[in-house]
Amino acid sequence: MIELDRAGRSFKVRKNVVHAVRDLSFTVSAGEFVGYLGPNGAGKSTTIKMLCGILTPTSGRVRVAGLDPSRRRTALARRIGVVFGQRTTLWWDLPLADSFELIRLLYKVDRAAFRARLDELTATLDLGAFLRTPVRQLSLGQRMRGDLAAALLHAPEVLVLDEPTIGLDVVSKAGIREFLLRLNAEQGTTVLLTTHDLGDIERLCRRVMLIDHGRLAFDGTLEALMATAPGQATIEDVVTRLYTGGARAQQ
Amino acid sequence: MVRTYFLLAWTWTRAAAAYPVSFWLMTLLGVVVAGMDVAVILVVFANTTTLAGFSREEVLFLYGAASLSFTLCDLFVSNIDRVSQHIKAGTLDVFLIRPVSAWLQLATDRFTATRAGRVVQAAVVLGYAVTALGLDPGRLWMLPVMLATGVVIFTALWTLGGALQFVLTDAPEVTNAFTYGGQQLTQYPLAIYGRDLVKAVTYVLPLAFVNWQPGLYVLGRDDPFGTPEFTRFLGPVAAPALALLAALAWRQGIRHYRSTGS
């Protein structure tokens, strides 16, 4: 479903070339739930932006749902759902329901299918109480649920989440995790999740990829990740060790 | 595509209509501000009977034609010049994940229906000039061609300006020189400017085809700069060429977009 073959993206910063991502290769199969970890500035967001076609890779090959994202961006948009925890994709001044209707028209979703999907999402994400509220007046938790629904209205095969639980309280977090698990289990949606919340990873991901300095530093199951540091008790300790160790190896 | 355009435009209009007083005041203000341009022309002609050999009605005709093309673009595509704002705020990413062209979404972003007032003002001036001049009916076919050419040229200029902002993120005002500068330039008969400038806007940046060259044909006038007769009809060649250039530049801009860190 997602394929990267020695993909790289570099930026020119004044006279220097910075490699945000270099020689990154991995494959995610349909129906997988993958956690994508890495310290700040490791290249997580750059990877995600290459997956949705926002950034054109400067080297290598990227395929999502069989398409080259940067060349077939609008075609891919119909098959992929994207949520940025840091910014909304909804229309700030419109009530949530109007944003959804607009998305229906932009994505050309059939009216009956949309109705059914929206009812389902309204129930599972508990949106009923604020469907008529303008997006700017929603709380962060409400907005995030709205954003999730918006990314799923067109029934995408792949869902890419960039820090979806950032800033949420424990109850909202739990609700969103529950929803994502069900989505993956019941509808078989492939999910790629970046987060700094290791609780998300523990609860949700069977497979974990860890990127550091633009390269893949670990790729395996959650158990295998824990096994890299036998003495460590918690995932926080294991990941801290990998982040700092990886940095040392680079130097 | 047209349907999507109006859908998005309507969404923004509805959002703006939530504040009706502001909505109508802005429309009215647009008409008043645009009316100042006409007032300037009328003041000039209060002191003289011709401007570079053109009568008051002829100048109003050239002004009306350029203004109508310009205000239509100002209404429908000018929001494209906010690319740099979206780049800096990181909101361009959101446009790029939707299954609709980023150009279309940007052009409709915060669509301001209140600018329609200026379109009406320009149409009224042009309508008045055409009636008052009693033009040769055999030449009026050029009028719609001229307006279409003007719309294509200004749209291309705005798109070029937008594309340039992918590079000049910190100096978006530079691009205004082409769009708003182009409008200022075409408001008067090009005969009032120097020969070199007119050459530049004929052969390099084809602003002369917005109203000047086709306008000379409609008015049945010779070019004071002595360009040959066939130049009057080159608008439909120059405009698509500029549009193609703008489209290519836009594509390059999107491909070289760097996004922001988050």
Q: pLDDT tens digits for A8-62?
A: 888 887 788 888 888 899 999 999 999 999 888 888 889 999 999 999 999 999 9
Coil vs helix vs strand at A13: strand
Amino acid letter at B197? Answer: L
Amino acid letter at B36? Answer: M
- Residue B116: CB atoms within 10 Å: 18
The span from the CA of A160 to the CA of A177, in Å, is 14
Give the residue on A whose Cα is nearest the Cα of B98: A77
Residue to test with chain A: of B13, B96, B110, B252, most A Cβ within 10 A: B96
- Name the residue with tokens 């708003």: B180
Residue to test with chain B: of A52, A90, A106, most B Cβ within 10 A: A106
Coil vs helix vs strand at A24: strand
Beta bridge partners of residue A16, listed in sequence order: A13
Q: Do B259 and A93 touch (CB under 8 A)?
A: no
Q: Do B91 and A87 touch (CB under 8 A)?
A: yes
A105 and chain B in contact, CB less than 8 A: yes
Q: For A133-146, how does the pLDDT look when each residue is reduced to its tens digit (9 = 90+)? A: 988 899 988 898 89
Q: For B98-143, how does the pLDDT look when each residue is reduced to its tens digit (9 = 90+)? A: 999 999 999 998 888 888 889 999 999 999 999 999 888 999 999 9
Q: What is the pLDDT of residue A118?
A: 92
Average pLDDT over residues B141-149: 96
Q: What is the pLDDT of residue A112?
A: 92
**Nearest chain A CA: its distance from B152 CA (Å):** 25
Q: Do A87 and B262 touch (CB under 8 A)?
A: yes
Residue to test with chain B: of A18, A19, A72, A74, most B Cβ within 10 A: A74
CA angle A216, A221, A222 (to 5 degrees): 100
When CB atoms are compared, the residue of B15, B94, B256 closest to A94 is B15
Whole-Å CA distances, B105 to A113, B4, B96, B97, B200: 25, 9, 9, 11, 33
Amino acid letter at A113? Answer: A
**Nearest chain B CA: its distance from A231 CA (Å):** 33
A vs B: CB pairs below 8 A: 71
For chain A, report the end-to-end CA distance as a whole number of angstroms: 34
Q: What is the pLDDT of residue A250?
A: 44
Q: What is the pTM of this model?
A: 0.87
Residue in A21, A17, A156, A184 with CA at minimum distance from that of residue A80: A156
Q: Do B97 and A75 touch (CB under 8 A)?
A: no
Domain residue extents for chain B = 2-255
Cβ atoms of residues A37 and A201 within 8 Å: yes
